[in-house]
Amino acid sequence: MQTQAEMSLDAPVCVGVERFDMPLAVRLADTASTPCADDIVLYWLGQAGFVIDCQGRRMLIDPYLSDTLADKYRGTRYPHVRMMPAPLVPADLDRLDVVLCTHRHTDHMDPGTLQPLAARFPALRFVVPAASIDEAMRRCGVGIERLIPVDAGMRVRIGDDCHVSPIPSAHETLEADAEGRYPWLGYVIETCGLRLYHSGDCVPYPTLSERVAQQRPDVALLPVNGRDEARSGNGVPGNFTLDEAVDLAHAARVPAMIVHHYGLFDFNTIEPDAIDARIASERSALTLLRAQTQQAWRLTRTADPT
């Protein structure tokens, strides 16, 4: 069998996904217990947020750990009251190398989360859409020197043996600014011999599956809260339905998928039982999983046993 060092991102592989149960704050404090230094360990932060740990490097993507939206929308039709508490606060983190934000909406680029993180970790940098650079500086509370602006078609190094390749997302439309830059992005993160695709907020569009397939992701992190006229007409653009997310994983030939972006706001969610029923009915080779805050997922690149 090939060793981790001998394998390339293009080698024939199967991806092992292993769950282990432990409260998030305990797990983050016990970094020595990570099973293998070359594995990726994922933790869900609720909504579209994840912690990505690998080889002593820690990244966050789209963390929303505050009540910024509840404060903003108190007394409105959609008050944005949390259905679940934040599983941690910035002070719980003992280290952090980079934060990735897929777009400017507050549950993905939250000043109530990003500014405390920026203050706690003075060397921390933020990957943000180049189309939203001014908004990112305000929301992160940092100068441009701490931002890594990206756009579709780029492949940017964000650390030793770690790169990010943005893919345009449609939220709910595929948009570009006057300079041709996309304000809504998904990220393919290459690290530890694996590729993770996080779509940000996205709905299907004609070339999406081809764009994703070209990047050959091993795991897709996809939102499943859906969309409808009531939400869209009140300023709440939507996402894939559960079936659309599964269809994208199939079309892009992604071996494993973790569904998320549910369970935080009562007007913008899907029942966990519906997700579990869809998982139980899956008959393809796709490994289909539901993100949960009291679990972590260990992702391992292994040689194909066939």
pLDDT at position 306 over 80 = no
Looking at the domain assignment, is residue 162 inside a domain?
A: yes
More confident residue, 304 or 120: 120
Looking at the domain assignment, is residue 1 inside a domain?
A: no
The full DSSP string for 111-123 is HHHHHHHHHH-TT
pLDDT at position 11 over 50 = no
- Per residue in 224-245, pLDDT (tens digit) is 999 999 999 999 999 999 999 9
Looking at the domain assignment, is residue 180 inside a domain?
A: yes
- Other Cβ atoms within 10 Å of 91 Cβ, number: 9
DSSP state of 303: E
**Unique residue bearing structure tokens 């990206």:** 150
Q: Percent of the chain having pLDDT more than 90?
A: 81
Looking at the domain assignment, is residue 229 inside a domain?
A: yes
pLDDT band at 294 (very low <50, low <70, confident <90, very high): confident
Q: What is the dihedral of CA 169, 85, 65, 36, to 10 degrees?
A: -80
CA separation (Å) from 262 to 88, 124, 242?
18, 28, 11
Q: Are 258 and 289 in contact (CB under 8 A)?
A: yes
pTM across the whole model: 0.92
CA distance 137 to 246: 35
How many domains does the chain divide into?
Answer: 1
Looking at the domain assignment, is residue 279 inside a domain?
A: yes
CA distance 50 to 198: 10
Looking at the domain assignment, is residue 306 inside a domain?
A: no
Tell me, what CATH number does 257's domain have? 3.60.15.10
- Other Cβ atoms within 10 Å of 84 Cβ, number: 11
**Unique residue bearing structure tokens 């006057």:** 178
* Token pair for 301: 């690149």
Nearest to 194 by CA among 128, 127, 285, 255: 255
Q: Where are the beta strands (DSSP E) in 146-292?
A: 147-150, 156-159, 162-168, 185-191, 194-198, 219-223, 256-260, 287-290
Domain that holds residue 218: 11-300
Report the pLDDT value the prediction gives residue 301, as an integer from 0 to 100: 76
Looking at the domain assignment, is residue 2 inside a domain?
A: no
Looking at the domain assignment, is residue 3 inside a domain?
A: no
- Per residue in 271-289, pLDDT (tens digit) is 999 999 999 999 999 999 9
pLDDT at position 4 over 90 = no
Strand order in the sheet with 256-260: 156-159, 162-168, 185-191, 194-198, 219-223, 256-260, 287-290
- Per residue in 17-74, pLDDT (tens digit) is 888 887 787 777 765 454 455 789 999 999 999 999 988 899 999 999 999 999 999 9
Average pLDDT, the chain: 91
